[in-house]
């Protein structure tokens, strides 16, 4: 055997991640907001790109027919292009019932519901502007005004003033009593609760404005930690009230706002704009009920290649470097347009298969949601699992049942008592939520009892799984639900109340 250097000739296949391919993968996983920002950047950089009308050549499935027709499904798959290679709420709101179907937004489709923007309040004036305007009205003395402005600098976004009077007095060379007097006057600014140091002080100011800050309420505010822990017996003793009075006091506490500063300087909530629309449709030939899917072309600008301008630039380019630049920009523009078209086709292809496989959900609700994993869609669409993952991330579909992220339709499976039958974990969670919602508040269902009820319905499930699902849905234990039920607060007071009070207290923090 010869030992020494030698030359060998071999061939092998590799996948080169070209810049264009990397761009295609990146665009596929973008949400429509990220994609719109990227397109805007490209329009600014590339003179050969121009923005067209939103419906110029938009990809849709108007010719494809109902989704649940097998022949049409095969036709759509055959027509599709090949796959791309491998890619703090305010705690008072917590008192609202959080029932529903998880990721679903209770909106409807375009013509069937008002625009989500109609529900976004007009931007308020800033907290700083509001406070400075009130200081101008309240203080005429120069020293008092100076102290008030210094205290205003300590306001946080929740409306709390997290400073110490002694530190302000030292910094401004005034008496601490002066700071306390000015501070007390600042707490008269609307809304009540501004310039408070703690949650208890903030809520006390709001109760005082209502003339409801009696000794019992003061005791309740002094013991918010017991409210958080659900120690109702101790609260009754410390407040010297009976069950009915304590129930009324807790109900009034829920009407207060622990973060009054959030009425200012807020950013309007951006509603989720769906990438796809799903509407019921009939096959014109067979009359079968199915579904029609189309892209939301209003969410994205349409990009076109300006070929006339390209020809003009090429004619005027007399230097090779200029011609090379124009050619490179033209190639980049063409690639971007083709990539966007491929992205649209791929999204439609995956969404169409999801709708086909989850047809029962769209017709009957979450109880009919089937177990589904990425591989199921990948095999059916002949795409890679990573491509399906990228397509379904941050993409939303508007359906007659609401707006859902495409990821919502992928759920794990639980075995049923019938051999060969599996049930979606999301359907089981929904069933647990409905069982708890319909229970007797005086005799809530234990986890073991829920297991028995589910097994009676044909679902094989362990107690620890029920407990895990219950905790994930923020449903308290049966013992805590029984304690709240004795005060008539079982379903009116969701499980997040105790932790929410603690969170608000911790967020405001002590003055420092």
DSSP for 429-451?
HHHHHHHHHTSBTTBPPPHHHHH
Of the candidate ranges 75-79, 336-340, 443-447, the one whose mean pLDDT is the lowest: 75-79
Residue with tokens 């083709």: 338
pLDDT digits 0-9 by tens, 23-35: 778 888 888 778 8
* Upper half-sphere CA count for residue 471 (Cβ side, 13 Å): 6
Omega cis (within 30) before 272: no
Q: If you search the block for the tokens 């101790």, which residue do you land on?
A: 234
Average pLDDT over residues 360-383: 88
- The CATH code of domain 413-508 reads 1.10.10.60
Longest Cα–Cα distance in the chain: 103
- Residue pair 429/418 in contact by the 8 Å Cβ criterion: no
SS3 content of the chain, % helix, strand, coil (to 5): 55, 10, 40
pLDDT digits (tens, 9 = 90+) for 253-276: 888 888 888 777 644 445 578 889
Nearest to 505 by CA among 246, 223, 172: 223
pTM: 0.55
Structure token pair of residue 297:
């072309």
Q: In degrees rounded to 5, what are phi and psi of residue 424?
A: -65, 135
Whether pLDDT at 500 is above 60: no
- pLDDT category at 378 given cuts 50, 70, 90 is very high
173 pLDDT above the threshold of 70: yes
Least confident of 202-206, 304-308, 354-358, 421-425: 421-425
pLDDT band at 346 (very low <50, low <70, confident <90, very high): very high
pLDDT tens column, 82-126: 332 332 333 223 323 333 333 443 333 344 444 444 434 444 567
Place 232 in a pLDDT band, splitting at 50, 70 and 90: confident
Whole-number Å distance between alpha carbons of 422 and 436:
23
- Percent of the chain surpassing pLDDT 90: 7
The overall average pLDDT reported for the chain is 76
* 82/428: higher pLDDT: 428
381-411 pLDDT, tens per residue? 999 898 899 989 888 998 888 888 898 898 8
Residue 377: pLDDT band (50, 70, 90) is very high
Q: Which residue has the tokens 């509603």?
A: 271
Spatial CA neighbour of 217 closest among 191, 243, 235: 235
Cα separation of 312 and 26, whole Å?
A: 32
Nearest to 278 by CA among 215, 226, 347, 368: 347
Sequence spans of domains, the chain = 19-89+270-315+323-409, 127-263, 413-508
Contacts of 460 (CB under 8 A, 6+ apart): 414, 415, 416, 417
């Amino acid at each position: 055997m010869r030992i020494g250097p030698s030359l060998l000739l071999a061939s092998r296949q590799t996948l080169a991640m070209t810049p264009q391919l990397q761009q295609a993968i990146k665009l596929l996983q973008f949400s429509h907001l990220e994609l719109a920002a990227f397109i805007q950047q490209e329009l600014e950089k590339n003179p050969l790109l121009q923005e067209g009308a939103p419906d110029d050549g938009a990809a849709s499935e108007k010719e494809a027919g109902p989704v649940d027709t097998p022949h049409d499904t095969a036709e759509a798959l055959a027509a599709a292009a090949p796959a791309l290679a491998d890619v703090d709420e305010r705690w008072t709101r917590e008192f609202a019932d959080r029932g529903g179907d998880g990721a679903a937004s209770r909106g409807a489709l375009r013509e069937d519901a008002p625009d989500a923007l109609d529900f976004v309040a007009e931007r308020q004036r800033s907290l700083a502007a509001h406070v400075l305007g009130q200081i101008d009205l309240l203080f005429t003395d120069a020293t008092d005004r100076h102290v008030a402005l210094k205290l205003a600098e300590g306001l946080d976004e929740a409306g709390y003033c997290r400073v110490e009077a002694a530190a302000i007095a030292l910094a401004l060379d005034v008496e601490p009593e002066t700071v306390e007097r000015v501070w007390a006057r600042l707490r008269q600014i609307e809304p009540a609760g501004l310039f408070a140091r703690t949650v208890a002080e903030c809520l006390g100011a709001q109760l005082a404005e209502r003339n409801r800050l009696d000794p019992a309420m003061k005791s309740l505010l002094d013991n918010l930690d017991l409210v958080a822990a659900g120690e109702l017996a101790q609260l009754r003793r410390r407040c010297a009230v009976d069950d009915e009075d304590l129930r009324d006091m807790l109900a009034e506490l829920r009407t207060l706002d622990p973060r009054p500063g959030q009425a200012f300087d807020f950013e309007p909530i951006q509603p989720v704009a769906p990438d796809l629309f799903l509407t019921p449709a009939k096959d014109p030939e067979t009359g079968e009920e199915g579904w029609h899917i189309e892209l939301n072309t209003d969410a994205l600008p349409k990009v076109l290649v300006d070929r006339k301008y390209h020809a003009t630039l090429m004619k005027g380019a007399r230097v090779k470097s200029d011609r090379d630049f124009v050619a490179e920009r033209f190639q980049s523009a063409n690639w971007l347009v083709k990539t966007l078209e491929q992205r649209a086709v791929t999204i439609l292809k995956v969404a169409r298969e999801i709708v086909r496989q989850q047809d029962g959900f769209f017709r009957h609700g979450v109880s009919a949601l089937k177990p589904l994993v990425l591989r199921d869609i990948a095999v059916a669409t002949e795409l890679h699992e990573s491509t399906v993952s990228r397509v379904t991330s941050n993409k939303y579909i508007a359906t007659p049942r609401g707006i859902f992220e495409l990821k919502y339709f992928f759920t794990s499976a639980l075995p049923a008592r019938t051999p060969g039958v599996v049930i979606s974990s999301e359907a089981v969670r929904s069933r647990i939520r409905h069982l708890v919602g319909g229970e007797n508040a005086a005799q809530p269902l234990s986890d073991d009892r829920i297991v028995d009820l589910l097994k009676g319905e044909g679902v094989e499930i362990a107690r620890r799984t029920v407990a895990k699902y219950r905790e994930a849905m923020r449903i308290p234990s049966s013992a805590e639900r029984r304690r709240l039920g004795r005060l008539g607060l079982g379903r009116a007071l969701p499980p997040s109340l105790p932790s929410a009070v603690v969170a608000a207290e911790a967020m405001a923090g002590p003055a420092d």
